[in-house]
């Protein structure tokens, strides 16, 4: 009976274990909780966002002004977030950025501009099933495009958990934004999409059965990843 109890407990935590992205990873170091990451609405219960029409889809942030600090990072360097505790659901990892408009800072900007996608990682398909490389990972990192023009940006991480995504409204969004000042000699700026209007509830990759008998394809939601 004891072994049976442990199995039940493991199953329960796999279903109910939500997560947050509290710490920025940059310049080879990990900062404090919510030091460079805007504190998210789910900071206590770790719960997901499911309403795709909400402005919370931008940064899932608890309050507009939080005293969050801004980290200087070089274009081309590796930046990311720790996960608390881990990305415990199968899902797609994506990173977006938005350039802060003139006259504002990464600390003041509400994210109402154009967001461009710099990374997307869905499943691999092999052995007749989907496999999710980020499933169980304790961090999520990305390379800031080498060609990116210097300036203030928000970096948005998004993990779309898909274990209930076969019905409308079932996809679970786990989101956070870090505040960055990007340095370097890049010159490139990118057009993008506004949030929350970028996704629809029935988009491919949002309304999806991830347990089909034999998957053949996968399409990530949102725009294509930009390149330098
Ligand atoms: C992310 O997690 C992996 C797996 O635990 C670890 O090997 C790696 O060093 C971590 N990376 C960062 C930047 O913390
Ligand atoms: Cu969860």
> Is any atom of ligand 1 closer than 6 Å to the C-beta of 139?
yes
Q: Is 184 exposed, middle or buried (0-12, 13-18, 19+ CB in 10 A)?
A: middle
What are the per-10-residue average pLDDT scores of the chain (228 residues)? 42 66 98 98 97 98 95 98 98 98 98 98 94 97 98 98 97 98 98 97 97 91 97
Pocket lining: 50 vs ligand 1, CB cutoff 6 Å: no
Probe ligand 1: pick from 137, 139, 143, 178, max atoms within 8 Å of CB? 139
pLDDT at 65: 87
- The DSSP bridge pattern shows strands 78-82 and 71-74 to be unpaired
What is the per-residue pLDDT for 2? 39
pLDDT in tens, 136-179: 999 999 999 999 999 999 999 999 999 999 999 999 999 999 99
Provide the pLDDT for residue 213: 82
pTM of the model: 0.93
pLDDT of residue 16: 63
Q: How far apart are CA 8 and CA 35, in angstroms?
A: 37
Which ligand sits closest to the CA of 134? 1
Specify the pLDDT at position 204.
96
Q: Which fold has domain 2-183?
A: Coagulation Factor XIII; Chain A, domain 1 (2.70.50)
Query: Which residue's CA is the nearest one to ligand 1's atom 10?
Result: 139
The Cα-based distances of 220 to 80, 168, 199, 217 in angstroms read 20, 16, 11, 10
Which of 28, 81, 137, 138 has the most ligand 1 atoms within 8 A of CB, as the residue to mutate? 138
pLDDT of residue 214: 87
Ordered by start, the domain boundaries in the chain are 2-183
Locate all alpha helices (DSSP H) within the chain, ordered by sequence. 2-16, 56-59
């Amino acid at each position: 009976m004891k072994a049976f109890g442990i199995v039940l407990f493991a199953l329960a935590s796999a279903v109910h274990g939500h997560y947050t992205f509290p710490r920025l990873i940059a310049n080879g170091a990990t900062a404090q909780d919510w030091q460079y990451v805007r504190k998210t609405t789910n900071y206590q219960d770790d719960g997901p966002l499911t309403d795709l029409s909400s402005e919370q889809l931008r940064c899932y942030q608890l309050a507009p002004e939080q005293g969050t600090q801004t980290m200087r990072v070089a274009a081309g360097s590796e930046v990311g977030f720790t996960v608390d505790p881990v990305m415990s659901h199968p899902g797609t990892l994506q990173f977006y950025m938005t350039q802060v408009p003139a006259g504002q800072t990464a600390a003041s900007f509400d994210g109402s501009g154009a967001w461009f996608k710099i990374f997307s990682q869905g499943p691999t398909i092999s052995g007749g099933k989907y496999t999710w490389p980020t499933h169980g990972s304790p961090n999520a990192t990305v390379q800031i495009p080498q060609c990116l023009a210097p300036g203030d940006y928000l970096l948005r991480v998004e993990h779309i958990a898909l274990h209930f995504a076969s019905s409308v409204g079932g996809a679970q969004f786990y989101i956070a934004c870090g505040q960055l000042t990007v340095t370097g000699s890049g010159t490139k700026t990118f057009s993008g999409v506004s949030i929350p209007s970028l996704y629809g509830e029935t988009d491919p990759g949002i309304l999806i059965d991830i347990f089909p008998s034999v998957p053949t394809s996968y399409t990530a939601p949102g725009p294509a990843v930009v390149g330098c």
